[in-house]
A and B are shown apart, each in its own frame.
Chain A
């Protein structure tokens, strides 16, 4: 009944792009150069992925209780940030890494370089049911956290203080992840949907402004997706969405959110429960967490 994708596909060629993966299946890929990485750091359950201005790729690994730092070229693990609990949501601002800790129901902030713990948003645990997604508008100094249980987006300042009331209440039914369009001050929120939603069962990408007003919806029933997860937006208005159960990365043109255009999806046959995408702004390399294969898959130039 249940066919699993083989976890041995550590290196392959995607439909259009060079595909390089890091997973728990290959010792050489795990450890990289001699003496640089402990073999115990093999990836287990990658969830969210983001990057740094220096080009490092950051991945929250749920079962490893860590944020992994990957070399973007060969995907070697070059370091970790230990998290006491199950890390999910992930975002970066400057030298600080924001990590959703499912076990503690909080969002913790760590120093990127040292991995040292700095603070919690709101200063307390259990502020979130499931802090599955984090997005940051560094210019505005805003941190947005999607809570899949409370079904809202919570707003904070970078220092951890509250930045206002929750938004999205009554609109979001099963939110999982989000990203900010800082230029237009929009939030793109992946939403599984639920019968309790104002929009019925339908999964969607909901586009809200920072005040929480619904701007547009990308409907799953229209664009054939069911479990939207992590998102990424490139510089030319393309939105990339990890589709968990279909094992794909969906691509939309959202230059005009009210008139979305789709492109061929990415990753067919190579991704097993993809949960997030990240585009390296330097070269448009597209990184995808393939959680059930314990991999991060990179499509060189795939985020263009």
Chain B
């Protein structure tokens, strides 16, 4: 214990101060000496009672006058008083040399004045060349040992010479017992604060809402009066685990099932923008006693526990879009395409709609949410950052996070209210075809799957049921409310929203970003006209000259016959002019099946999609949510896309026996010769992607270049990043 003779120390200290030793550090280099002079900070030559310390105080009181409450230093310290030791048994000077940082045994300089030069417990006082600390135990003094402390991560070191290790064994570094893995890293001071004398603390002493030990620690729970219902899903591993009536130590056993203190095998680095900004720890530590088996990454830890508890992020899921509809958008499977799996990487995705089996394929893109990832595609599993989107303890530390419950998101997110798009398949029928006959998407009333699903045939979900092409999005579906989570990382500049590569490469259209005019939050500043007669009818047909003419080159929806020189697709539908087309009942047309149902070819009068017919693109005809097109986790398509609604290559409806494929007669306009109905000039699929490889006359470039439904593992435009 501490038996220092002050006079002996003072003599040695004076020598040390006034004459440089062979060691690198001197007083003026130290944290104290670089600011304070001897006689200001600590010493007087003729102090009270013979003391050379100011105020006649003892060294510890002097230290605490600055480092204790009310003192001027931000480096706070309190007396270290382990169980069994009395006040004064361990003092500041037994770990610190107040005069200089000392060289350590590893040839570097210690920090924070750790390691003494003089052992005050010895008599006569012994000087040590290297930074040292004497072991002190409840049974007496131990040996003097070298100590290394260069950063806060050196409290416990692999070499065993960190300052805490002089006296303490941290315990095994791994294991599955409640405290078997107490060695949660090397910065012991994260839990054992110097500011309160390195006292032992349980997790809830900082992380309970009522705790005051740390104002900055995230408050994870309120243990007082807690009920099982109030606990939430992520304060225990198994639903049967007790959470009511636990004492502080028992809470720690709960916490360490997932967390390893503030370090551990898996560290989720801070990401301030999403509310993860833990300055003492650098992030969230995972890898607790219940997580390490087979799980070495954050995502694997989540998936493992979810699998154990029967929780899937696929198929029908948590309702996040209020009163809007919810659908099953498919799931992940092993390579056998039968066994459900949770791991995104290398998984196979199958649509939730059986007839869209052409989509089945391996995952092509994952959402890492990780700033360190700089390219699109499938990320390595240890790059996935679940916590950047999910706030499993509902701390609500991200901007505008309103604690909306499952799935514990850090911001607003409205799930997909649109049915799944898919190419019309053989034998598909639509119960309410209207005048256009039994074709896909003859009007907004045809809602059965097979074909595109947009606002107008899904009840205009983002505009409160009002026609999306005419109405603003409702408050519940503005960018803040429907995609606040996305905005945290991707920002709110929807016009220029583009995560990877050059958006001009990815989008069809000269202005290069379809988000701008089709997605909630866009202003339209990058609107491109991606549907025009020049695109659909490059041969310049149809050129109507009279009623009933140009039946082999009908315009979209058989419209526009009224304005013979109109260069726009839908033309003027206000006057009953007509052009016979492929499917007319009238023999002046081609009478192909399935025929329009009107006696006269007035089907265009039933056109009800609401797109205007003027010569400029419709502003915000679409008002899609982010969820309309993107899966936030993983997708069979690149760029997390779940939709390429107009890829006609997978349309098999045209192949059914009663549906004709157009022949090659020269009475058809050139772009209609030998193409399917899905690629005809009359087809109501404005931004379709034609199968030009098999139907070279077909027109239609789609609306983007990066999400084709190609053969599994193949991308149409591999050169586009």
Does A187 count as interface, using CB distance less than 8 angstroms? Answer: no
* Closest Cβ–Cβ distance, residue B198 to chain A (whole Å): 13
Task: Mark interface residues in B105-149 (1 if CB within 8 Å of A CB, else 0).
Answer: 000000000000000100000000000000000000000000000
Q: Contact at A1–B74, with CB atoms within 8 Å? A: no
* Closest Cβ–Cβ distance, residue B88 to chain A (whole Å): 5
**Chain B residues with CB below 8 A from A102, complex form:** 69, 76
* Closest Cβ–Cβ distance, residue B338 to chain A (whole Å): 53
CB neighbors of B among A59-87 (8 A): 62-66, 82-86
CB neighbors of A among B17-45 (8 A): 35-37, 39-40, 44
* Closest Cβ–Cβ distance, residue A225 to chain B (whole Å): 8
Q: Contact at B72–A88, with CB atoms within 8 Å? A: no
Q: Contact at A88–B120, with CB atoms within 8 Å? A: no
Q: Contact at B215–A104, with CB atoms within 8 Å? A: yes
Please give me the residue from chain A that is nearest to B53 by CB atom. A245
Does B210 count as interface, using CB distance less than 8 angstroms? Answer: yes
Q: Contact at A66–B212, with CB atoms within 8 Å? A: yes
Q: Contact at B212–A132, with CB atoms within 8 Å? A: no
Q: Contact at A130–B54, with CB atoms within 8 Å? A: no
**Chain B residues with CB below 8 A from A238, complex form:** none
**Chain B residues with CB below 8 A from A226, complex form:** 44, 54-55
Please give me the residue from chain A that is nearest to B39 by CB atom. A201
* Closest Cβ–Cβ distance, residue A15 to chain B (whole Å): 17
**Chain B residues with CB below 8 A from A174, complex form:** 72
**Chain A residues with CB below 8 A from B70, complex form:** 47-48, 88, 132, 176-177, 229-230, 244, 275-276, 291
Does B400 count as interface, using CB distance less than 8 angstroms? Answer: no
Task: Kindly identify which residue among A3, A195, A225, A230 contacts B40, using a CB–CB cutoff of 8 Å.
Answer: A195
Task: Mark interface residues in B462-484 (1 if CB within 8 Å of A CB, else 0).
Answer: 00000000000000000000000
**Chain B residues with CB below 8 A from A247, complex form:** 55, 57, 61
**Chain B residues with CB below 8 A from A62, complex form:** 69
Task: Mark interface residues in A218-249 (1 if CB within 8 Å of B CB, else 0).
Answer: 00000001110110000000000001111100
Please give me the residue from chain B that is nearest to A44 by CB atom. B196
Q: Contact at B88–A2, with CB atoms within 8 Å? A: yes
Interface magnitude class on chain B: 35 or more
Taken together as a complex, chains A and B put the C-alpha atoms of A195 and B37 apart, in Å, by 7
Taken together as a complex, chains A and B put the C-alpha atoms of A102 and B56 apart, in Å, by 29
**Chain B residues with CB below 8 A from A202, complex form:** 40
Q: Contact at B65–A84, with CB atoms within 8 Å? A: no
**Chain B residues with CB below 8 A from A1, complex form:** 2-4, 6, 9, 58-59, 91, 93, 120
- A132-B70, A174-B72 known; A82 and B212 CB under 8 Å? yes
Q: Contact at B88–A227, with CB atoms within 8 Å? A: no
**Chain A residues with CB below 8 A from B214, complex form:** 85, 103
Does A182 count as interface, using CB distance less than 8 angstroms? Answer: no
A-B pairs under 8 A by CB, number: 137
**Chain B residues with CB below 8 A from A148, complex form:** 71-72
Q: Which of A82, A84, A177 has the most CB of B within 10 A?
A: A84
Does B60 count as interface, using CB distance less than 8 angstroms? Answer: yes
* Closest Cβ–Cβ distance, residue B295 to chain A (whole Å): 34
Task: Mark interface residues in B615-658 (1 if CB within 8 Å of A CB, else 0).
Answer: 00000000000000000000000000000000000000000000
Q: Contact at A3–B88, with CB atoms within 8 Å? A: yes
Taken together as a complex, chains A and B put the C-alpha atoms of A47 and B68 apart, in Å, by 10
**Chain B residues with CB below 8 A from A227, complex form:** 54-55, 65
Q: Contact at A176–B71, with CB atoms within 8 Å? A: yes
Please give me the residue from chain B that is nearest to A101 by CB atom. B215
**Chain B residues with CB below 8 A from A246, complex form:** 48, 55-57
**Chain B residues with CB below 8 A from A103, complex form:** 214-216
**Chain A residues with CB below 8 A from B6, complex form:** 1
**Chain B residues with CB below 8 A from A149, complex form:** 72, 74
Does B62 count as interface, using CB distance less than 8 angstroms? Answer: yes
Does A270 count as interface, using CB distance less than 8 angstroms? Answer: no
**Chain A residues with CB below 8 A from B210, complex form:** 82
Does A193 count as interface, using CB distance less than 8 angstroms? Answer: yes
Does B152 count as interface, using CB distance less than 8 angstroms? Answer: no
**Chain B residues with CB below 8 A from A23, complex form:** none
Taken together as a complex, chains A and B put the C-alpha atoms of A258 and B70 apart, in Å, by 27
Does A194 count as interface, using CB distance less than 8 angstroms? Answer: yes
**Chain B residues with CB below 8 A from A230, complex form:** 70
Q: Contact at A273–B72, with CB atoms within 8 Å? A: no
Task: Kindly identify which residue among A2, A85, A195 contacts B59, using a CB–CB cutoff of 8 Å.
Answer: A2
Task: Kindly identify which residue among A130, A195, A243, A273 contacts B36, using a CB–CB cutoff of 8 Å.
Answer: A195
Does A192 count as interface, using CB distance less than 8 angstroms? Answer: yes
Task: Kindly identify which residue among A63, A83, A176, A245 contacts B61, using a CB–CB cutoff of 8 Å.
Answer: A245
Taken together as a complex, chains A and B put the C-alpha atoms of A125 and B40 apart, in Å, by 32
Q: Contact at A194–B213, with CB atoms within 8 Å? A: no
* Closest Cβ–Cβ distance, residue B583 to chain A (whole Å): 69
Taken together as a complex, chains A and B put the C-alpha atoms of A272 and B58 apart, in Å, by 11
Task: Mark interface residues in B165-193 (1 if CB within 8 Å of A CB, else 0).
Answer: 00000000000000000000000000000
**Chain A residues with CB below 8 A from B71, complex form:** 132, 148, 176
Taken together as a complex, chains A and B put the C-alpha atoms of A85 and B87 apart, in Å, by 25
* Closest Cβ–Cβ distance, residue A231 to chain B (whole Å): 12
Does A45 count as interface, using CB distance less than 8 angstroms? Answer: yes
Does B64 count as interface, using CB distance less than 8 angstroms? Answer: yes
Q: Contact at B57–A245, with CB atoms within 8 Å? A: yes
Taken together as a complex, chains A and B put the C-alpha atoms of A177 and B64 apart, in Å, by 16
Taken together as a complex, chains A and B put the C-alpha atoms of A273 and B68 apart, in Å, by 10
**Chain A residues with CB below 8 A from B4, complex form:** 1
Q: Contact at B72–A292, with CB atoms within 8 Å? A: no
- A2-B91, A63-B196 known; A88 and B69 CB under 8 Å? yes
Does A281 count as interface, using CB distance less than 8 angstroms? Answer: no
**Chain B residues with CB below 8 A from A272, complex form:** 61
**Chain A residues with CB below 8 A from B48, complex form:** 246
* Closest Cβ–Cβ distance, residue B199 to chain A (whole Å): 9
- A1-B2, A103-B215, A227-B65 known; A243 and B55 CB under 8 Å? yes
Q: Contact at A84–B215, with CB atoms within 8 Å? A: yes
Q: Contact at B61–A292, with CB atoms within 8 Å? A: yes
Taken together as a complex, chains A and B put the C-alpha atoms of A62 and B213 apart, in Å, by 10
CB neighbors of A among B576-622 (8 A): none
Q: Contact at A275–B55, with CB atoms within 8 Å? A: no
Q: Which of A1, A82, A201 has the most CB of B within 10 A?
A: A1
Sample (16) of A-B pairs whose CB atoms are under 8 Å apart? A2-B2, A2-B58, A48-B70, A65-B213, A84-B215, A86-B215, A88-B69, A88-B70, A132-B70, A132-B71, A132-B72, A226-B44, A229-B70, A247-B57, A272-B61, A273-B61
Binding site for A on B (CB under 8 A): 2-4, 6, 9, 35-37, 39-40, 44, 48, 53-62, 64-66, 68-72, 74, 76, 78, 87-88, 91, 93, 120, 195-196, 210-216
Known contacts A4-B88, A88-B70, A245-B57; 16 additional CB pairs below 8 A are A1-B3, A1-B6, A2-B59, A2-B93, A3-B58, A4-B60, A84-B211, A104-B216, A195-B40, A227-B65, A243-B55, A244-B70, A245-B61, A245-B62, A247-B55, A291-B69
Ranked nearest first, the 3 interchain pairs of A and B with the lowest CB-CB distance are A65-B212, A201-B40, A85-B215
Binding site for B on A (CB under 8 A): 1-4, 7, 45, 47-48, 62-66, 82-86, 88, 101-104, 129-130, 132, 148-149, 174-177, 192-196, 200-202, 225-227, 229-230, 243-247, 272-273, 275-276, 291-292
